[in-house]
Structure 1
Amino acid sequence: MLRPGDQGMRVRLREAALAAALLLLAACGSSRGTPRGVPGYDAGGGLQLSCVPFARARSGIQLAGDAWQWWDAAAGRYDRSGAPRPGSVLVFARTPRLPQGHLAVVSRVVSAREIRVDHANWAPGGSASRGRVARDQPVLDVSPRGDWSAVRVWYPPVRDYGRTVFPTHGFIHPVIRTAALRE
């Protein structure tokens, strides 16, 4: 049984294991990488990932279903809010452009309106970047109230934010609620 004091240690161990696995996979891939300081996609060896298993492994949040279903599934189990924290998962809403929604893990908070995320499979269909992991990509809050309900995401091919504004539900934080611990 997970005790509240053990949560941080388990998250750190899970992150270390994921980092080691990704480093091993990267060693098998291309030597071409993203220029230092420029957000983009990892040089990969053909490994295809979707956002859900990547976010689950990276954050330690144990939810299932399509990305858009995570917000409701987290209710009562994990803390949710409109404020980003490192390690939290940003849940993109289901739209015609994102029929399964999307998940991105906050790697760092830059300012009240900018974060950096790690996420998988953030690329147009048929793109060579489809299924790859994007690291430290900027995400900008463009919501009128500053509540992270609408964002623009960095688009590496143009080295700027994309024009599309994506609706989001908010952030799921990797802290299991006390009631969920008793289940």
Structure 2
Amino acid sequence: MMKRLTAALVAATLGLSIVAAPQTARADDPYWQCVTFARMLSGIQIFGDAWTWWRQAVDKFRTGDAPEQGSVLVFQPSGRMSRGHVAVVSDILTDRVIRVTHANWGGSRGKVEENVTVVDVSGSGDWSQVKVWYSPIRDLGTSVYPTYGFVYKNAAEAGQQVGEGALRLAQGGGSAVAGGAR
């Protein structure tokens, strides 16, 4: 219980410190889907709807229930998120709080959001249920999202692919907004 409370306090404090004014969308801005963006940024070459990434990854990549920088958190289909969601871990803050960079989430349809706070709210600390920072309320969203876990890059590919993905993002663009969504 104390770990969950600490994680929530850390998330709230961090979230308030990174709130930025939203950027105005332009007609020539790319419209990012979460899977296309996650594949490009992480270098993990999995295709198809987000919820299929977990099944596809089992035989090709390491998978697990602990975040690693550059790994992909795979969300299960839930509610309006009927095709699941994928997000790339950009930072690990505590054993129950991470930041992700992802696209096409909540109120930021088609946009990229960087360093969004995600908190593990599962009873056993296995990242099977998370809450995601939601900028409009400047707090964690009220929804709890089920996840499959993390897909990790293969060790030999890790450094090269993340660097290439970041370079492509920097060159090709995509709007970035600090904070998060639900």
Indicate whether the TM-score tops 0.5: yes
Give the equivalent residue in structure 1 for 2:132.
153
Give the equivalent residue in structure 1 for 2:179.
none
Once the two structures are superposed, the pairs formed by residues 58-77 of structure 1 within 5 Å of their partners are 58-77=41-60
Give the equivalent residue in structure 1 for 2:141.
162
Counterpart CA distance in 2 for 1:39 and 1:148 is 27
Change (3 A) 1:37 1:69: same
Give the equivalent residue in structure 2 for 1:38.
19
Q: Which AA in structure 1 matches 2:50? A: A
Specify which of 67, 74, 78 is matched with residue 84 of structure 1.
Answer: 67
Specify which of 80, 87, 94 is matched with residue 97 of structure 1.
Answer: 80
Q: Which structure has the bigger radius of gyration?
A: 1
Give the equivalent residue in structure 1 for 2:98.
115
- The Cα shift of 1:36 comes to 7.5
Q: CA RMSD in A?
A: 2.1
Give the equivalent residue in structure 2 for 1:134.
113
Counterpart CA distance in 2 for 1:132 and 1:95 is 21
Change (3 A) 1:148 1:42: farther
Instruction: Structure 2 unaligned segments of length 5 or more: list them.
Output: 1-15, 157-182
- The Cα shift of 1:96 comes to 2.6
Paired residues of 1:119 and 1:133 also in contact (CA < 8 A): yes
Specify which of 11, 14, 31 is matched with residue 48 of structure 1.
Answer: 31
Q: How high is the TM-score relative to the length of structure 1?
A: 0.71
Instruction: Report Cα offsets for 1:71-116 as digits up to 9, x if no partner.
Output: 0000121000000010000000012321110000000000000000
Q: Which 4+ residue blocks in structure 1 deviate beyond 4 angstroms? A: 39-44
Aligned length: 139
Q: Secondary structure at the match of 1:53?
A: helix
Q: Which AA in structure 1 matches 2:104? A: N
The higher relative CO (CA closer than 8 Å, separation ≥ 6) is in 2
Q: Which AA in structure 2 matches 1:55? A: A
Paired residues of 1:41 and 1:134 also in contact (CA < 8 A): no
Instruction: Structure 1 unaligned segments of length 5 or more: list them.
Output: 1-34, 178-183
